[in-house]
């Protein structure tokens, strides 16, 4: 019998399993598709902050999560013996002439809101580290809060840590004792919507690709809505699309080719780099756009932990600690706007 049963072996489910197991609970993670079969098996892995303005509880929580990420992933690596690909190397963003004044103003608010832990600077594009970028103004934003990890490697490392702590990861469930937490991605949001008779969220398809281009110490890039993330394995990930309407959830198409073309326009030095992987998957997006967590309404002993969408890997470690407080100790410190009681 497991003390905690977690449905779903993506980053949310496994991060919670790891935290619960570390606290002494017996954990079983159930997923018929296996580890990282869904959105957590992607390529990109950009852990980036919200802009430092209009501060609210969600932005503050994400800042705290990013600040704690290095220690969390170091612990996972040590426990599992697997490298999650984490590195806090910062991010570069080209700036338009029209956006230059706002970017500089945000540097001032970052100095206050980021509490001296990290910086947001506006510097000459020619002085920026890493990839050579096209910047309309000749300036870029450089922050040193952003980090990267490799999504699939990180999820596999979490799985290894759960097992190393005595947990189980299985394809099918069995008798369980204690709470059951549903962390089943967009399918789980659909199931919850049907159970409640109203829409609480669904899936957004994303496509991404990876090039053989080794610059593992370079900061990631965010430009024209696109992430370019160098990884430690000598690949560079490019993504991703956000498709509300789609026919095939796990199939790449011409939109993936368009990502490649946009990346080359941002960073011409990538021309000629071999495409070594393409990926498509459906990410869970709660209707509120914030993660969704807490008791499953009307179902005793069941909980929901879902809806990471674009910030899942950045938020999962910190949210897992909050969720473990709830399911193990009954202590509710779910951030405002994240709880299932708001449904």
Q: How far apart are CA 178 and CA 109, in angstroms?
A: 45
Q: Of 277, 172, 262, nearest to 231 (Cα)? A: 277
Per-residue pLDDT tens for 325-343? 999 999 999 998 899 987 8
Residue 90 maps to which CATH number?
A: 3.50.50.60
Per-residue pLDDT tens for 309-319? 889 999 999 99
pLDDT at 304: 98
**How many folded domains does the chain comprise?**
1
The mean of the pLDDT values for the chain is: 95
pTM, rounded to two decimals: 0.96
What pairing do the DSSP bridges indicate for beta strands 275-286 and 201-212? antiparallel
Q: Residue 314: what are its φ and ψ, rounded to 5°? A: -70, -35
Name the residue range of residue 169's domain: 4-342
Q: Are 170 and 253 in contact (CB under 8 A)?
A: no
Q: Coil, helix or strand for 74?
A: helix
Phi-psi region of 202 (alpha: psi -120 to 50; beta: other; left: phi over 0): beta
Q: Does pLDDT of 268 surpass 80?
A: yes
Per-residue pLDDT tens for 59-83? 899 999 999 999 999 999 999 999 9
Q: Does pLDDT of 185 surpass 90?
A: yes
pLDDT at 343: 81
The C-alpha R_g of the chain, in whole angstroms, comes to 20
Q: Are 327 and 210 in contact (CB under 8 A)?
A: no
Question: In this structure, how many other beta carbons lie within 10 angstroms of the beta carbon of residue 116?
Answer: 7
5 alpha carbon, distance to own chain's centre: 22
Q: What is the band of 167 on the pLDDT scale with cuts at 50, 70, 90?
A: very high
């Amino acid at each position: 019998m497991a003390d905690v049963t977690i449905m779903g072996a993506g980053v949310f489910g496994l991060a919670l399993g790891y935290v619960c197991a570390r606290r002494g609970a017996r954990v079983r993670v159930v997923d018929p598709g296996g580890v990282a079969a869904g959105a957590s098996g992607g390529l990109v892995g950009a852990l980036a902050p919200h802009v430092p303005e209009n501060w609210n509880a969600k932005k503050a929580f994400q800042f705290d999560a990013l600040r704690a990420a290095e220690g969390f992933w170091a612990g996972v690596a040590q426990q599992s013996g697997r490298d999650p690909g984490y590195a806090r190397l910062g991010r570069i963003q080209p700036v338009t002439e029209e956006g230059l004044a706002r970017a500089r103003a945000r540097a001032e608010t970052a100095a206050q809101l980021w509490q001296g832990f990290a910086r947001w600077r506006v510097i000459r594009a020619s002085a920026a580290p890493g990839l050579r970028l096209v910047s309309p103004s000749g300036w870029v934003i450089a922050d040193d809060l952003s980090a990267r990890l490799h999504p699939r490697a990180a999820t596999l490392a979490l799985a290894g840590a759960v097992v190393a702590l005595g947990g189980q990861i299985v394809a099918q469930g069995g008798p369980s004792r204690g709470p059951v937490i549903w962390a089943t991605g967009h399918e789980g949001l659909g199931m919850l919507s049907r159970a409640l008779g109203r829409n609480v969220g669904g899936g957004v398809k994303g496509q991404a690709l990876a090039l053989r281009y080794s610059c593992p110490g370079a900061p990631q890039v965010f430009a024209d809505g696109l992430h370019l993330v160098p990884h430690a394995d000598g690949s560079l990930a490019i993504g991703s699309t956000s498709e509300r309407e789609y026919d095939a959830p796990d199939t790449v198409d011409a939109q993936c080719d368009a990502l490649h073309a946009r990346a080359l326009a941002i960073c011409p030095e990538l021309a000629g780099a071999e495409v070594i992987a393409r990926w498509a998957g459906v990410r869970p997006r709660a209707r509120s756009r914030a993660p969704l967590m807490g008791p499953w309404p009307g179902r005793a002993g069941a909980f929901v932990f879902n809806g990471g969408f674009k910030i899942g890997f950045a938020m999962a470690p910190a949210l897992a600690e909050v969720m473990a407080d709830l399911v193990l100790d009954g202590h509710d410190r779910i951030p405002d706007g994240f709880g299932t009681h708001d449904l």
